[in-house]
Chains A and B, each alone.
Chain A
Amino acid sequence: MNRQRTHFPDLAFGGFLILLAIVALVEIRNLSIGTAADMGPGYVPRALACVIMGFGLVVAGRGFFAERRLLPAVKPRPILSVLISLAVFALLLPRGGLALATLATMACATFATPDYKWRESVLFAVIITVFTVLLFISALGLPLSIWPR
């Protein structure tokens, strides 16, 4: 048999499960377990983490010996733009106000695909910003400032 091994998606998912279980076990190491009749706060989470660890080992193990499949290609541009636009929103909103945060978020998100058109996107972003401010502050009364303070 000369077929290539390792199903990378399964290996990655199994690895994720194992990592999650370890992180959880470390975080709750000081919680009391208690007894089956009177469980402490650590009983159920610890049991769960151990089972998840088991699942992780099986998935990763099977993935290691399964027929080769590579992870689907990750295009960095869309996912990074999307995540950055969230971060920009979170950073700008408290001090910069809703209008600025909205514009900046829309701008970052727009760059996620290469096929944006400048004029169209700018126009649309301005329309959405006006709409957002009217809807969320004027109509729904969210406690936010519109402009930087």
Chain B
Amino acid sequence: MEVFNNLALGFSTAFSLQNLLFCLFGVVVGTLVGVLPGISPLNTTAMLLPFTFGLAPTSAMIMLAGIFYGAQYGGSTTAILVNVPGETSAVVTCLDGYQMARQGRAGHALAIAAIASFFAGCVATVVIALLSMPLAALAIKFTAPEYFSLLVMGLIAAVVLAHGSPFKAIAMVLVGILMGLVGIDVNSGVPRLSFGIPDIADGMDFVPVVVGLFGIGEVAANLEIPQDRSILTGKIKNLMPRWADFKEAFPAILRGTGVGTILGILPGGGAALPPFAAYALEKKVSRDPSLFGKGVIQGVASPEAANNAGAQTSFIPLLTMGIPTNPLMALMIGALMIQGIQPGPSMIREQPTLYWGLVASMWIGNLMLVVINLPLVGIWVSLLKIPYRLLFPAIILFCCIGAYASTNSVFSVWLMLFWGALGYFFNKVGVHPAPMVLGFVLGPILEENFRRAMLLSGGDPMIFVQRPISATLLVVSAVLLMILIFPAIRAKREQALQE
């Protein structure tokens, strides 16, 4: 079996001492930012991105991936114990997790959350291993028109699944694409939209843009909201779940894993959406939905499984087709490009150690996380006692150093300042910057493939509907757009996103 050979290669890569250490570092940092509200895996990854320059590509990816799924674990710990979701993906866990903690069942909730996450992580790893080869084989047949349509579908799907007004989200995608075009036009060598500033003649660097939007902008907005936290005191005991709990939770874990795996693969998915969907599903299948929100174990197990599965399967579109489905995956593309690797369907063949090493490291990382989270839970909770007033100056400082290190020029800090101000503006007018980041990353590839396709067809846009794969992708995009337009379905979407 090819899959086994590949996984063997992956495990031998991931089990090297260096990669194990980076994996550990990644999941520890991930847990840390997961526990601390106000720092997201997104801005942590962005801050650490410049420091991956010197690492081997495999180690860099293993570490960055660890931060992402590590944060899913950490976020649930504080959700259960303190009723503060460390991450957006843990918002749902608060509902029943905190209630369980108040009833003195914090240990059970934590244990089930960890088991659910671990189980989901294992399943997701296998799914990635099984799905990636056929998907990459399909994607490798893609030429310019298919790529263009695929990117369009990805962007539209991201808009459909995003919060808030889809109309404004589409506008943000377009703004992102335009911003992505800043720099020298590859075909003619003419600088575009660079306003004669030599530092951006090559395009705006990715790190200052993302750190500015998500790091600086968010900190500034967070500071306006008074921070208060009440810590649940008392020792956490009973870390071993009772058999009855486990039996009750297991079907929920299975359902959550399924929901998370599927939603993670979809563009626009990732870790934030699956737990909401999983919780809604649990409520539907439950015999007594009124118990939800009062501390039922399924309300913890299913969303926790879903967010971890989603976090991991969202790597599939990135690794097989080079398409990021959420801003964090966009950062991963940035990390790969810094290393001189163009993510895409040929990556599995050309970089087998990187690819399979990363997949295997996810499983190892999940195992590490169970160990890090359960016995050491007290340490993480005590970290919450660090007040935000001390934390945020350090965050700002690390953003500055990260931006500087990405280009070794203070211009990046100025660029970050500009984007930070823009991020603050978007926050004030109630538009989320995530779709813009996707547009920003995909913009140049989108234009390139569009121009190439039009060159192929001699200027006839029909080429996009004459090719079967491209046409199918565009039909899917059209259906997605219909979903946005039809009020009935739209209302359901709002409801699903609000629950």
Interface residues of A (CB under 8 A from B): 9-10, 12-13, 16-17, 20, 24, 27-28, 31-32, 35-45, 48-49, 51-52, 55-56, 58-59, 71-72, 74-75, 78-79, 82-83, 85-87, 89-91, 93-94, 101-102, 105-106, 109-110, 112-113, 115-116, 120-121, 124-125, 128, 132, 136, 140-143
Chain A residues with CB below 8 A from B17, complex form: none
Q: Other than the known A41-B192, A75-B223, what 12 A-B pairs have Cβ atoms closer than 8 Å?
A: A9-B430, A24-B193, A41-B190, A44-B450, A48-B177, A52-B175, A83-B421, A89-B410, A90-B400, A113-B223, A124-B394, A128-B397
- Chain A interface mostly: helix
Question: What are 15 of the A-B contact pairs (CB < 8 Å)?
Answer: A9-B429, A37-B454, A37-B455, A37-B458, A83-B421, A85-B393, A90-B400, A90-B417, A105-B393, A106-B393, A106-B397, A109-B392, A115-B389, A121-B389, A136-B405
CB of B459 within 8 A of CB of A36, answer yes
Closest A residue to B393 by CB, please name it. Answer: A109
Q: Which B439-460 residues have C-beta < 8 A from chain A?
A: 447, 450-451, 454-455, 457-460
CB of B451 within 8 A of CB of A44, answer yes
B228 CB to closest chain A CB, in angstroms?
A: 11
How many residues does chain B have at the interface if contact means C-beta atoms less than 8 Å apart?
59
Alpha-carbon distance A90/B417, docked complex (angstroms): 10
- Nearest first, the 10 closest Cβ-Cβ pairs linking A and B are A37-B459, A36-B459, A78-B223, A109-B393, A41-B185, A90-B413, A55-B171, A9-B429, A89-B400, A86-B417
A32 CB to closest chain B CB, in angstroms?
A: 8
B492 contacts the other chain (CB 8 A): no
Interface residues of B (CB under 8 A from A): 51, 54, 167-168, 170-171, 174-175, 177-178, 181, 185, 187-188, 190, 192-193, 195, 216, 219-220, 223-224, 389-390, 392-394, 396-397, 399-401, 404-405, 408, 410, 413-414, 416-417, 420-421, 424-425, 428-431, 447, 450-451, 454-455, 457-461
B214 CB to closest chain A CB, in angstroms?
A: 14
Closest A residue to B427 by CB, please name it. Answer: A72
Alpha-carbon distance A115/B388, docked complex (angstroms): 10
B39 CB to closest chain A CB, in angstroms?
A: 14
CB of B389 within 8 A of CB of A116, answer yes
Query: Contact check: which of A42, A82, A91, A142 meets B219 at CB < 8 Å?
Result: A82
Give the interface centre of B216, B223, B401 by most chain A CB atoms within 10 Å. Answer: B401
Alpha-carbon distance A43/B187, docked complex (angstroms): 12
Closest A residue to B189 by CB, please name it. Answer: A41
CB of A86 within 8 A of CB of B393, answer no
Chain B residues with CB below 8 A from A82, complex form: 216, 219-220, 223, 396, 420
Known contacts A36-B454, A37-B459, A78-B224; is A105 also within 8 Å of B396 by CB?
A: yes
CB of A17 within 8 A of CB of B175, answer yes
CB of B392 within 8 A of CB of A112, answer yes
Give the interface centre of B178, B393, B417 by most chain A CB atoms within 10 Å. Answer: B393
Closest B residue to A85 by CB, please name it. Answer: B396
Give the interface centre of B216, B223, B392 by most chain A CB atoms within 10 Å. Answer: B223
B217 CB to closest chain A CB, in angstroms?
A: 9
CB of B393 within 8 A of CB of A24, answer no
Alpha-carbon distance A91/B429, docked complex (angstroms): 30
A44 CB to closest chain B CB, in angstroms?
A: 5
Chain A residues with CB below 8 A from B51, complex form: 140
Alpha-carbon distance A36/B170, docked complex (angstroms): 24
